[in-house]
Amino acid sequence: MGIVKNKITALLTLCISSIGLAQQLPQFTQYMFNTVSINPAYAGSRETLSIVGLHRSQWTAIQGGPETQTLSIHSPLQNEKVGVGLSIIRDAPGFENYLYIYGDFSYSINLTDSSKLAFGLKGGVTNYNLDQEFLNDPEVTQDPFFGNYSNRWNPNIGAGLYLHSNKWYLGVSAPRILNTDNNHTTETSSVEYVALERISYYLTGGYVFNLSTNTKLKPSTLLKATNGAPISIDLNAHFLFYEKFWLGGSYRYNEYTSSIGALADFQVSKQFRVGYAYEHFISDIRPYLGGTHEILLLYELFNEKRVKSPRYF
């Protein structure tokens, strides 16, 4: 039964997340608080050591549905124009498993007294493998569709730009530039199992409006385009109360799926913040998938001498 459910999950994953055999990086409801995972130019922009952990459980109506965990660490160096970071992402969409381990480097220049432009580079490796339980299924071992599967490590690079001030930001990035075939079959394989990692482009932006002394509104957006997959658009709006509590909603659209989400985020202390997000499909596949949950933890080694203004991004 577990194998059958894995196959259902895999089929949905291929249909929704990898149309055209284009494997994509996982996408998050709380992307605005984990930007370094998609844009290396963001590294060090918060002016302090920042550690972000995120867990995402997707399609909770399906046993063994996709799960993703991320850990991102980044900080400016003594030369505040230089930032470095490390991003680790574990993504398990069905029977496929991905592990991304990438380092980040950024260099910023001051455009005005309040705005900066950062250039970023990302480099590392991606590991790709299939669940052993799935591979051991007799129906799978006898199916030539999967060809000569092998566990693979592939290098990749990325780049990005991040233009920002304490009130707004605009970013563009391509965290994986190289097209990678994660499964090379032998010439004797009757049918080739294709698992391609293709280049994705991200455009992000946001602005903070002061509604009152203790209330702010921050709309933001993310546009993602991947070769061989539909364009995905995220629209978000969050209220910030007393510099402590974020509350907001999101809408995500692409050609095949649409979803809405809600987010709550609490600044427990200057160093520690915790967030939760829920995403709910509103397209025809909703009855089969259930909702998606995200939990985010953020810790920062707060340095009042270095941090010049509140960090909203």
- pLDDT, tens only, 5-26: 444 444 454 444 444 344 567 8
Residue 78, sorted as left (phi over 0), alpha (psi -120 to 50) or beta, turns out to be: alpha
In degrees rounded to 5, what are phi and psi of residue 217?
A: -120, 130
Structure tokens at 91: 């993504």
Q: Is the overall model pTM greater than 0.75, yes or no?
A: yes
Mean pLDDT of 49-63: 88
- The confidence band for 184, taking pLDDT boundaries of 50, 70 and 90, is low
Domain ranges of the chain: 2-301
Q: In sequence order, what are the residues at sequence separation of 6 or more whose Cβ sits closer than 8 angstroms to the Cβ of residue 6? A: 64, 94, 95, 131, 133, 134
**pLDDT (0 to 100) of residue 140:** 63
Q: What is the pLDDT of residues 282-291, one digit of tens each?
A: 877 666 677 8
Whether residue 158 contacts residue 177, with contact meaning beta carbons closer than 8 Å, is answered with yes
pLDDT at position 1: 41
Could you tell me which residue, 163 or 32, shows the higher pLDDT? Answer: 163
pLDDT at 237 over 50: yes
Q: pLDDT, tens digit, for every residue of 61-73?
A: 777 778 999 999 9
Residue 300: phi and psi, rounded to 5, are -130, 135
* pLDDT band at residue 128 under the 50/70/90 scheme: confident
Give the percent of the chain with pLDDT over 70. 78
pLDDT at 191: 43
Type of residue at 46: R
Specify the CATH superfamily of domain 2-301. monomeric porin ompg (2.40.160.40)
